[in-house]
Structure 1
Amino acid sequence: MPESAPRRRPRLSDQETRRRMLDAALALVEQDGLTVGLDHISVEDVIQRAGVSRTAVYRRWPYKDLFHADLLRELARGAAPASAVDEEATRRLLGSVLDGRAAEPATPQGRHDLLTEMLRVSAADDFEAIHRSAGWRTYLALQATFLSLPDGELRADVGEALRLSESRFVDRVARGWELVATALGYRPRPEAGGGFPLIATLACASMRGLVLMALPDPELLTRRVPANPTGASTPADWSLIGLAAAGIGVTFLELDPGVTWDDERTAAVRALFAGP
């Protein structure tokens, strides 16, 4: 019997072609990370991965630069630097800190020691997760790529998308600080000049700076400093990002005099950090 004729690929609309191509390119970036620029993203490789017609692709994007411009917009809109940190894992980590300090929430010094230890362990854990995250490296590369774009519509689009992404990230970090601080009976110091959004902005800046420094110098990731930056009951070995977080905490937070601590509140805090 004669060989059957090859089945023709169903014709896709322009929007379907666009979506498949961008999704395939996003998957390549997620897999390999992004360098400064997109020259390493081959349109032909993306066509094969997307399973779309070459003719349709070049009808949609006559020039490679046009496809790369749309991909940059897509990457910037979807940029999510905070996704490197698993919120549930962080909650479990903080719960383990609380489990080892059963009696401490009952006293102001005990709660201060708890907050200190939570800052110390969670900052180091976040730093390690972010340092090894391809998504974070892509986000940092996007920032650098944005700086190289000439003035015009593409630069404006990418800049606005990155601004919104950064705002989402800072909001998420602010909620994390607020969750831990208020649970332990702390509030922003009124005279410090700002609340949790400002705290989060400074914490994010410290994290980003150390991540950038640690890319060529991984020793910064493992470096520990014997210290007691918050006046806790005992010193400990601190990561560099932990010291930065502690400095921010000491500057901006104080025990809330309006909080009454009792067994019911202690139980609520344990339930909060125990998770589902």
Structure 2
Amino acid sequence: MLEVAVERVKAEGLQLDYANIELEDLIRAAGVPRSTVFRIWPDRAAFVADLVRALFEADPGFETGFDDETLGFVEQALAGSADVASSPEEKEAALREVLRAAVAHNMAAVEDTVAWRVYRTMSAAVSSGDAVPGGEEIRALLSEIVGRYLDRMAELYRVLNAAFGLRMRPGVSERDLAVAVMATIDGMGDHRRINPELIDGPRTVALGVEGEREWHLAGIAISGIHTAFTERIAA
């Protein structure tokens, strides 16, 4: 049942009212006993909750916080940039370069993932105020999924900060930073679907000693957020 439903969501997306996830239809397509299905999932909302969990846990980007290609870039940059840079200004420039390239790539890559599209659909449904099948259960599931994602991103920021000689400012944590970044990416993603040029149009700007670079708007925002949340570790 879950395999058939996952393939359907990959092909069609997940509709706001789950109209394309009908248990009777899936039972026929999967060729499984009807009695068994309804013993496991008494209604469609219960099935959808397990389906969403399966979609996220099958997405490699969910485990890392980034898609594989973006994560590979970050790891490569961590292996080289932090060691080469000697002065605090050079370390900051190296970190900005990591963020500049990683955010621009991830901003586009994440939109193509099934898990992300499902998350946006379901969060929109829950926040719409309309009656959503399994609304409270879905809200709890999304909260759990987002919490696990934030934990992974917080750990990534701990690694980045340590590599580039930074720490969180008193009063905020790596998880707070992850929340701020996630909210920014979510908002830009929403506007990007309406007007891609508004968000994706390149900006050429100098943010430090490295001089002018071509930035994605999200990269500038994330760089600014990271700077506001962190401080140098005194030598």
* Interval of TM-score (by shorter of Structure 1 and Structure 2): 0.7 to 0.9
Partner of 2:46: 70
Counterpart of 1:47 (choices 24, 27, 33) is 27
* TM-score of the superposed pair, with normalisation by structure 1: 0.72
SS in 2 for 1:215: helix
| Partner SS for 1:132 | coil
* Partner residue in 1 for 2:219: 242
Report 1:165-176 matches (<5 A).
165-176=145-156
How far is 1:159 from its partner? 1.4
- Cα RMSD, aligned residues only: 3.0
Per the alignment, residue 123 of structure 2 pairs with 143
Query: What is the CA-CA distance between 1:26 and the residue it aligns to?
Result: 3.3
Partner of 2:67: 86
Q: Is the 8 A contact 1:120 1:243 kept in 2?
A: yes
Name the amino acid aligned to 1:204.
Answer: M
Partner of 1:223: 201
Q: Report the counterpart of residue 267 of structure 1 in structure 2.
A: none
Does structure 2 conserve the Cα–Cα contact (< 8 Å) formed by 1:113 and 1:232?
Answer: yes
Shift of 1:106: 1.8
Change (3 A) 1:221 1:145: same
Is 1:56 the counterpart of 2:31? The answer is no
Are the structure 2 counterparts of residues 170 and 59 from structure 1 closer, same or farther at C-alpha, using a change threshold of 3 Å?
Answer: closer
* Higher Rg: 1
Shift of 1:141: 0.6
Seen in structure 2, the aligned counterparts of structure 1 residues 99 and 74 have a Cα distance that, compared at 3 Å, is: closer
Is 2:129 aligned against 1:129? no
Alignment partners' CA distance in 2, 1:140 and 1:155: 15
Shift of 1:25: 2.0
Q: SS in structure 1 opposite 2:234?
A: coil
Q: CA deviation at 1:48?
A: 3.0
Indicate the SS of the match to 1:208.
helix
- Give the distance between the partners of 1:51 and 1:188, measured in 2 at CA: 54
Q: C-alpha displacement at 1:28, in angstroms?
A: 1.9
Unaligned 5+ runs, structure 1: 1-20, 259-276
Residues in 2 aligned to 1:171 and 1:58: alpha-carbon distance in whole angstroms: 34
Counterparts of 1:239 and 1:216, CA distance in 2: 17
Distance in 2, matches of 1:40 and 1:232, equals 53
Structure 1 contact 73–158 (Cα < 8 Å) conserved = yes
Q: CA offsets per residue over residues 99-153 of structure 1, 9 Å max, x none?
A: 886974222121111011111111111111112222211111111222345499x
Percent identity among equivalent residues?
26
SS at match of 2:158: helix
Q: How far apart are 1:96 and its partner, in Å?
A: 4.8
Q: Distance in 2 between matches of 1:101 and 1:58?
A: 53
For 1:72, give the aligned amino acid: V
* Residues 95 and 146 of structure 1: CA distance in aligned 2, closer, same or farther (over 3 Å): closer
SS in 1 for 2:194: coil
Q: Is the 8 A contact 2:55 2:114 kept in 1?
A: no
Unpaired segments of 5 or more residues in structure 2? Answer: none
Shift of 1:59: 6.2
Contact residue 82 and residue 94 of structure 2 kept, 8 A: no
For 1:175-190, what aligned pairs fall within 5 Å after superposition?
Answer: 175-190=155-170
Go from structure 1 to structure 2 and tell me whether the alpha carbon gap of 1:232 and 1:188 turns closer, same or farther (over 3 Å shift). Answer: farther
> Contact 1:130/1:211 (CA < 8 Å) preserved in 2?
no
Write the letter of the residue equivalent to 1:74: D
DSSP-derived class of the 1:106 partner: coil
- 2:211 aligns to what SS in structure 1? coil
